[in-house]
A = this chain, B = another copy of it.
Amino acid sequence: MTDQHVPSSIKDPGLVEKRRNQMIKGAVSLFIEKGFHKTTTREIAKASGFSIGTLYEYIRTKEDVLFLVCDSIYERVKVRMEQAFDADTKTIDSLIHAVTSYFQLMDDMQDEVVVMYQEVKSLSREAQEYVLQKEKDMVAMLVGVIRNSIPGTTSEQDITLIANNIFVQGQMWGFRRWMLQKEFTLEAYTERQIHFLLEGLNINRKSIINDGRMS
């Protein structure tokens, strides 16, 4: 869907979406490689496969590219989280599944996620608040899963804290890869984090063996 937050001079919405996707794809890899500030608009244009003039038909400002990139990453993460979290079962397994899926997702998109968190501060206050909301939505999803899966005695505050812990543990798999990915496979990392999570909640998990791998 065409992002209505960044106006374009091009009228055809389908074209706008297509070109912006090219743009995001090109920009993400550049941002991963050298960061937002060291990437020039000409490089973005070239990596997107069109001229600098064309680039500016689809955005107003270099910062718009960053916004589009961040928004797209958030969106992709969110969509995949929604897919993974839709289990109706209210068992501990659905929490295990959610965490496993989320960690897998953070592994798949680690470059994007790392870049996004490093550069988001370069957005305008407005734009930052916009993406912050998406972040809150995602934490809320995690909160929902946890609340459904564990004994009702846990306080809302504790649930929030645990959700944040899980959220950040997913991110740290990417941010601290130089340490963690030398010591753990993703599977081992996931297993141990879930272990401590459940122990922390005093849940006598039968088995973590039959957790599903997410699609």
Determine if A87 is an interface residue (Cβ-Cβ < 8 Å).
no
Query: What chain B residues lie within 8 Å of A188 (beta carbons)?
Result: 157
CA distance A158 to B183 in the complex (A): 10
Determine if A130 is an interface residue (Cβ-Cβ < 8 Å).
no
Query: What chain B residues lie within 8 Å of A176 (beta carbons)?
Result: 164, 168
Determine if A139 is an interface residue (Cβ-Cβ < 8 Å).
yes
Interface size bucket, A side? 35 or more
CA distance A162 to B200 in the complex (A): 12
CA distance A202 to B204 in the complex (A): 12
Minimal beta-carbon separation of A70 from chain B (angstroms): 14
Minimal beta-carbon separation of A155 from chain B (angstroms): 9
Pick the interface stretch among A19-27, A104-112, A190-198: A190-198
Query: What chain B residues lie within 8 Å of A162 (beta carbons)?
Result: 196
CA distance A195 to B196 in the complex (A): 12
Q: Is the CB of A169 within 8 A of B160?
A: no
CA distance A199 to B160 in the complex (A): 17
CA distance A105 to B139 in the complex (A): 26
Q: Which 4 A-B residue pairs are closest in the complex by CB-CB distance?
A: A196-B200, A200-B200, A37-B37, A199-B200
Q: Footprint of B on A, CB under 8 Å?
A: 35, 37, 118, 121-122, 132, 136, 139, 157-158, 160-162, 164-165, 168-169, 172, 176, 178-180, 183-184, 188-189, 192-193, 195-197, 199-202
